[in-house]
Amino acid sequence: MTRTVPLIELEGVAKDYPGPPTVRALRDAQMTVGKGEYVSIVGRSGSGKSTLLNVVGLLDRPTCGRYSFAGVDTGSLSERRRTALRARAIGFVFQGFHLMPHRTVVENVGMGLIYQGASWRQRRRIAEEKLEAVGLGSRSTALPTMLSGGEMQRVAIARALACSPSLLLCDEPTGNLDSQTADGILQIVDDLVEAQLTVLMITHDPQVAARAHRSVVVRDGRLIHDQGRG
Amino acid sequence: MRLRYVCQDALVSSVSRPSKLFLTAFGAMLGVASLVAISGLTTTAGTQIIARFDSASSTYVSIENAGEPVNHGDPRLRWASGDGVARIEGVVRVALSARLAGITSVVAVPLDDPTVPEATPPAVLAATADLGEVLGLRLSDGRMFDRGHEERGDNVVVVGAQAAGQLGVDDLALQRVVFINDVAYDVVGIFDEAIDNSFLGAVIMPARTAQTHLGATSPDVLHVIVRPGSARLVAEQGPIALAPSGPTAFAASYTPDPTDLREQVGEDTRAMFVVVGFVSMLAGTVGIMNTMLLNVMERTGEIGLRRALGAKRAEIVVQFLTESAVVGVVSGAAGSAIGMVVIVALAESRSWAPVAEWWLMPVGFALGVASGLVAGAFPAWRAARIEPASSLRAA
């Protein structure tokens, strides 16, 4: 395990959703994740895992507490700067893939680069590189509807990697896949971690969680277990 | 630069679903088509109405001496008076005539039969050769005398059908001569139609002939044919052209045009066009807005993803406005084209000449684009308000 510079630091972070009744989805969360770490987030449905991911992924602001990303206090950032930081440094992989069915694979992968100001040629070049990296170099012109579930998730990973992020957030990436396909996806994630990418993986599956360097258990909004496996 | 790429992406996004694009554009397309069609048909129908008004409006002006001259040298109509009036804008043709006095007898066969009661002779007119065309004389037999007859002072006449019946010269194959004050004249034509039926009872001869044999001195009526809508102007200008220093010596008369009625009809059709066009466009715009709102709801996940990938709210607005503009472009282009086809088809079916203003196509197109943008504004704003976390969770 590599723990040199902390990438993620949560100090007393809480997140409430206004009601009525008010739902306290996250309470007094403390967590530190270093660069190159692979952390799994486990817990039951409704325990607060996705809320944690949204906060860490700068998709949502915490109600209170302090969240620093790469040493930057994100609470002090404007909406515009948070968006820019998210686009540049964080990649997302979702259980439901979130691919646009009418756009080709290469267009899906290059989509995030539009918001980095990359031209069509640059987007295409980077997208093809990333597709090659996930083993889909030959399917760049296909539509997502022509792909299998595993291939779609690979496209989603390639899209997340297109902006060369510091952090990859995966929300149940293997939830819709059979075990063999899931293993292929997890192998890609392992390779990325090997290449010093920081990964936070939300999962229900203990086997998936076991592949991470450590697991954080979320229960009733609290991070009650933070266990390293070295 | 980023916005350019966002617009390009929105463009690709729109055209990657052509059937959806077409269906979204359909409502506004119908709106633009009906706007263009109604506008064009209004113009076409208006032109047709104007043509009907023109055909019904007066194209004849007559100018006469206003009264007897008080002093020697007071302006009077002369046989050359037509030249000045012919130069007035709107004048098509002029002719002069004089009703001859001192006609004691007009007969086909000179008989001195005291048993036959004396009949009132038909009116005898002296006229310039153009009178036939000016008065719309339709020759049922023979022809009108011409300038050659007039210049030579030939003894020729044309006879109205009524006078011909009275004189018994209604068949030129049998009888070609009439005697006026005991002088023989060849009947070269018989006319059975004129703009004024009173001419059907007259005998008309060339002016010079009348001057030579019957002492005609000057004309008493100047007949003027004008273009539709010019009657009033010619009636005003004619006396001035005849005598700039004393136009009151002449009296012009014409039938006033139904100008006010025409303008009222024009205003009514324009008002109808504005109201119906506005309603059509409104319906089309609301249609696009509804579809775009549904589109936003349907694409909540995509919006969340774009936001997660770094799209700012403004860029989401631009994305959806661009897509709306594409819908508007399709609506405007196709709607304008369909509208034009409808104009031509309906005009053709009524045997009217299709008439459309030159700006109809570009304005129809621009209205289509504008309706797309207006209709897209609210959905785009709604899209930009979507929070990425909740939308990704919902999707």
Q: Which of B234, B257, B280 is the last residue of a domain?
A: B257
Q: How far apart are CA B204 and CA B304, in angstroms?
A: 95
Q: Which amino acid, residue A69?
A: F
CA-nearest residue to A85 within chain B is B310
Total count of domains within chain B? 2
Check whether B381 has a pLDDT greater than 50: yes
- The three-class DSSP label of residue A95 is coil
> Which chain B residues are Cβ-neighbours of A115 within 8 angstroms?
2, 6, 306, 309-312, 315
pLDDT per residue over B301-327, tens digit each? 899 999 999 899 999 999 999 999 998
Q: Are the beta carbons of B308 and A163 separated by less than 8 Å? A: no
**The pair of three-digit structure tokens given for residue A56, joined into one six-digit string:** 């860490």
Residues B71 and B208 in one domain: yes
* Chain B partners within 8 Å of A117 (Cβ): 1-2, 5
Q: Are residues B45 and B91 in the same domain?
A: no
Q: How far apart are the first and last CA of chain A?
A: 6
Residue B306 and residue A96: Cβ atoms within 8 Å? no
What proportion of chain B, given as a percentage, has pLDDT over 90? 21
State whether B171 and B309 are in the same domain: no
Pick the closest to residue A44 from A222, A210, A227 (CA basis).
A222
**What ipTM was reported for this prediction?**
0.88
Among A54, A29, A65, smallest CA distance to A221 is for A29
CA distance A137 to A148: 15
How close B16 comes to chain A (CA, Å)?
Answer: 6
Mutation site for A-interface testing, chosen from B305, B387, B390, B391 by largest number of A Cβ within 10 Å: B305
Q: Domain check: are B173 and B245 in the same one?
A: yes
Q: What is the pLDDT of residue B56?
A: 58
Distance CA B305, CA B393 (A): 11
Of residues A59, A111, A119, nearest to B389 (C-beta): A59
CB contact under 8 A, B395 and A102: no
Which phi and psi angles does B293 have, rounded to 5°? -65, -45
Instruction: Give the separation between CA B169 and CA B181, rounded to whole angstroms.
Output: 17
Q: Is the pTM of this model over 0.90?
A: no
Same structural domain, B32 and B174: no
* β partners of residue B223: B62, B95
Q: Is the dihedral of CA B127, B202, B182, B99 positive or negative?
A: negative
Q: Do B392 and A98 touch (CB under 8 A)?
A: yes
Q: Which two tokens stand for residue B303?
A: 């919006």
Size of interface A-B (CB pairs under 8 A): 74
Rounded mean pLDDT, B127-152: 89
Tokens of B219: 């004309």
A80 in reach of chain B (CB within 8 A): yes
What is the tally of helices (H) and strands (E) in chain B?
13, 11
| Phi, then psi, of B284 in degrees rounded to 5 | -65, -40
Same domain? For B133 and B176 the reply is yes
Distance, in Å, from the CA atom of A65 to the CA atom of B283, rounded to the nearest integer, reads 51
Same domain for B113 and B48: no
Are A98 and B9 an interchain contact pair (Cβ–Cβ within 8 Å)?
A: no
Which position has the token pair 């540049």?
A88
Q: Per the structure block, which two tokens stand in for A49?
A: 């895992």
Which amino acid is located at A176 in the chain?
A: N
Contacts of B301 in chain A (CB under 8 A): 96, 98
Give B 5-24 residues with CB within 8 A of chain A.
Answer: 5-6, 8-9, 12-13, 16-17
Tell me whether A92 touches chain B (CB under 8 Å): yes
| B333 and B215 fall within a common domain | no
Rounded Cα gap, residues B273 and B251, in angstroms: 43
Q: B359 in contact with A at a CB cutoff of 8 Å?
A: no
Residue type, B15: V
Concatenated DSSP letters of A78-89: -HHHHHHHHHHH
User: B388, A59: Cβ pair inside 8 Å?
Assistant: yes
Report CB contact under 8 Å: A84, B387: no
B253 and B264 inside one domain: no
Q: Say whether pLDDT at B217 is over 90.
A: no
Higher confidence at residue B127 or residue B39?
B127
Strand, helix or coil at A117?
coil
Last residue of a domain, one of B206, B224, B257: B257
Three-state SS at B29: helix
Q: Are residues B175 and B199 in the same domain?
A: yes
B242/B141 same-domain check: yes
Residue B235: what residue type? A
pLDDT of B369 above 50: yes
- The partner residue sitting opposite B395, judged by closest CB among A96, A117, A159, is A96
Evaluate whether A10 touches A65 at the Cβ level (below 8 Å): yes
User: B-chain residues within 8 Å CB-CB of A84?
Assistant: 310
Kindly give, in sequence order, each residue whose CB lies less than 8 Å from that of residue B39, ignoring residues fewer than 6 positions away. Answer: B273, B277, B339, B356, B357, B360
- Contact list in B for residue A111 (CB cut-off 8 A) is 9, 305-306, 309
Domain region containing B19: 2-54+260-394
> Which two three-digit tokens encode residue B227?
């273009």
CB atoms within 10 A of CB B23: 12
Considering only CB atoms, which chain A residues are within 8 Å of B310?
83-84, 86-88, 112, 115-116, 163
CA–CA dist B74, B142 (Å, integer)? 40
What is the layout of strands, in order, in the sheet containing A64-69?
A23-34, A6-17, A64-69, A72-73
pLDDT value for A3: 46
The rounded distance, in Å, linking the Cα atoms of A139 and A128 is 9
Residues B22-47: tens digit of each pLDDT: 887 887 788 788 878 877 887 787 77
Find tokens 């093809």 and name the residue: A128
Query: Does residue B111 sit at the A interface (CB-CB below 8 Å)?
Result: no
Contacts of B298 (CB under 8 A, 6+ apart): none
Kindly give the confidence (pLDDT) of every residue in chain A, 230 residues in length, as a single tens digit, with 9 standing for 90 and above. 444 568 999 999 999 888 778 888 899 989 999 999 999 999 888 888 889 999 999 999 999 999 999 989 999 999 889 999 999 999 999 888 889 888 999 999 999 999 988 898 999 999 999 999 888 888 889 999 999 888 999 999 999 999 999 999 999 888 878 888 888 889 999 999 999 999 999 988 888 888 999 999 998 888 876 555 54
Report the C-alpha gap between B281 and B27 in whole angstroms.
Answer: 9
Task: Examine the domain organization and report whether B250 and B269 are in the same domain.
Answer: no
Q: How far apart are CA A198 and CA B126, in angstroms?
A: 116
- Please say if the pLDDT value at position B357 is more than 70: yes
Query: Is 60 exceeded by the pLDDT of residue B117?
Result: yes
Which residue on chain A is closest to B20 by alpha carbon? A102
Using CB atoms, pick whichever of B6, B308, B387 lies closest to residue A114.
B6
Select from B229, B257, B285 the last residue of a domain.
B257
Instruction: Note whether A160 and A168 are within 8 A (CB).
Output: yes
Burial B339-356 (b: 16+ CB within 10 A, else e): bbebbeebbeeeebebbb
Residue window 277-306, chain B: list those with CB within 8 Å of chain A: 301-302, 304-306
